[in-house]
Amino acid sequence: MRLGVLDVGSNTVHLLVVDAHPGARPLPAHSHKAELRLAELIDAEGAIDPAGVDRLVETIHRAVQAAEDQGCEQVLAFATSAVREATNADAVLARVRAETEVDLQVLTGEEEARLTFLAARRWFGWSAGKLLVLDIGGGSLEIAYGIDEEPDAAVSLPLGAGRLTASSLPGDPPTAEDVRALRRHVRTEIARTVGEFSRFGPPDHIVATSKTFKQLARIAGAARDAEGLYVQRELSRKSLQEWVPKLAGMTVEERAGLPGVSVGRARQLLAGALVAEGAMDLFGAQELEICPWALREGVILRRLDHLPAV
């Protein structure tokens, strides 16, 4: 069957179309993406501003048309932290439903972490043993740990790259004082959760998903996307520690010129790097393995698990 998964994230609205059936690897057939950066369209009262809601509705309209054009039998639509935490979330969801007929399911942060963990587990397989999975989104950082398909521990922290950039790094480039303050904040938040995971013992593999980690790995020398999905990509703590001060001294335009960094994500890259570095330090990770699958694939896999085998 052909499935669409519509991910209304804090950075992008992304429709991924796959051909899939139970027991088989989902095969990507089409991708439709729009950078909306909802995490940066929150007003002083914590609501998505009117222009942001207009853009969201228009973007979902286009994604629904793309899913129809691609012959999707079903579209699994969900939203993450930007919509979840908006003070006007109910009104936004109602307007989306009324104008697009899309019933967005709002995932909790823990659900995000668990579904991302499922995707990483299926990608690496049982032989990978105990996994610690890190995912930096636009609005939140998800952390999950376990040996099975359901993690033993899963948390979501308000440490997304878009959120932190909007709230804490106004300069271009930011001031050294702002960077230090954000670094302290990030590490304090992550440190509160470390004990919840360390009681399970050390992981066999530490895995990173999301665009932020992929871009950090790329500027640190990992293979390009064009070299294939199955090429092993890693990010070392040493490389990241060397890149953080470089990124802090760059303008957005200069970051956008780095290999693998998109113009839309360049502004958020420093905040993402500070979160990645803090997580690696506090969890004692010398190296991360980059996983191509993340939340969208987790949503698809969970749906397929509930379909009868053919």
Q: What is the CATH classification number for the domain harbouring 253?
A: 3.30.420.150
Indicate if 45 and 123 belong to the same structural domain.
no
What mean pLDDT is predicted for residues 19-27?
87
Greatest Cα pair distance in the chain: 59
Cα-only R_g, the chain:
19
**For residue 10, what pLDDT band results from cuts at 50, 70 and 90?**
confident
pLDDT value at residue 103 = 94
- Residues 50 and 74 reside in one and the same domain: yes
Q: What is the pLDDT of residues 189-203, one digit of tens each?
A: 999 999 999 999 999
**Does residue 307 lie in a domain region?**
no
Confidence of residue 11 (pLDDT cuts 50, 70, 90): confident
In a domain, 85, yes or no: yes
Look at residue 308 and tell me if it is in a domain.
no
The answer to whether residue 43 scores a pLDDT higher than 70 is: yes
102 with 113, same domain: the answer is: no
Q: pLDDT value at position 252?
A: 97
Q: Which residues pair with 19 in a beta bridge?
A: 2, 27
Rounded Cα distance, 219 and 224, in Å: 10
Query: Of the candidates 134, 153, 135, which has an alpha carbon nearest to the alpha carbon of residue 9?
Result: 135
Nearest residue to 50 (alpha-carbon basis) of 59, 41, 58: 41
- Are residues 155 and 256 both part of a single domain? yes
Closest CA to 32 of 1, 57, 69: 69
The pLDDT of 169-181, averaged and rounded, is 96
DSSP 70: T
Residue 304 or 115, more confident: 115
Q: Is residue 155 domain-shared with residue 283, that is, in the same domain?
A: yes
Whole-number Å distance between alpha carbons of 58 and 62? 6
SS3 280: helix
- Decide if 13 contacts 34 (C-beta within 8 A): yes
Domain boundary among 106, 127, 155: 106
In a domain, 302, yes or no: no
User: What integer pLDDT is reported at residue 22 of this predicted model?
Assistant: 83
Domain co-membership, 121 together with 256: yes
Residue type, 292: P
Same domain, 244 and 153: yes
Residue found under tokens 């012959």: 71
Cβ neighbours of 82 (radius 10 Å): 30
Q: How far from the centroid of its chain's Cα atoms is residue 220's Cα?
A: 19
**Is the pLDDT at 310 greater than 60, yes or no?**
no
Give the residue numbers spanning the domain of 57: 2-106
User: Does residue 186 sit in the same domain as residue 262?
Assistant: yes
Q: Give domain status of residue 76, yes or no.
A: yes
Taking residues 162-176, report their average pLDDT: 94
Provide, for the chain, the percentages of residues in helix, strand and coil under a 3-state DSSP scheme, each rounded to the nearest 5: 45, 20, 30
**Does the residue 304 lie in any domain?**
no
- Enclosing H/E stretch for 233: none
- Residues 28 and 158 both lie in one domain: no
Work out the angle at residue 34's Cα, subtended by the Cα atoms of residues 51 and 97, and round it to the nearest 5 degrees: 60
Q: Are residues 153 and 283 in the same domain?
A: yes
Same domain, 245 and 270: yes
Residue at 300 is within a domain: no
* 76 and 7 within one domain: yes
- The distance from CA 210 to its chain's CA centroid, rounded to whole angstroms, is 4
Model pLDDT for residues 66-120, shown as the tens digit of each residue: 999 999 999 999 999 999 999 999 999 999 999 999 999 999 999 999 999 999 9
- Of 40, 74, 106, which marks where a domain is finished? 106
Q: Is residue 62 part of a domain?
A: yes
**CATH code: domain of residue 81:** 3.30.420.40
Of the three residues 49, 75, 106, the one that is the final residue of a domain is 106
Instruction: Assess whether pLDDT exceeds 60 at residue 141.
Output: yes
* Residue 205 CB coordination number (10 Å): 18
Supply 186's token pair.
Answer: 């990030």
Instruction: Name the pLDDT band for 228 (thresholds 50, 70, 90).
Output: confident
Place of tokens 């954000």: 182
Local confidence band at 309 (pLDDT 50, 70, 90 cut-offs): low
pLDDT for 175? 97
In which band, very low, low, confident or very high, does the pLDDT at 39 lie, cut at 50, 70 and 90? confident
Q: Who wins on pLDDT, 158 or 1?
A: 158
167 residue type, one letter: S
Banded model confidence at residue 121, pLDDT cuts 50, 70, 90: very high
Give percent of the chain with pLDDT exceeding 90: 84
Distance CA 250, CA 228 (A): 30
Residue 36 has pLDDT above 90, yes or no: no
Give the chain's domain count: 2
What percent of the chain is predicted at pLDDT more than 70? 99
- Start-to-end Cα distance in the chain: 11
Q: State which amino acid sits at residue 86.
A: A
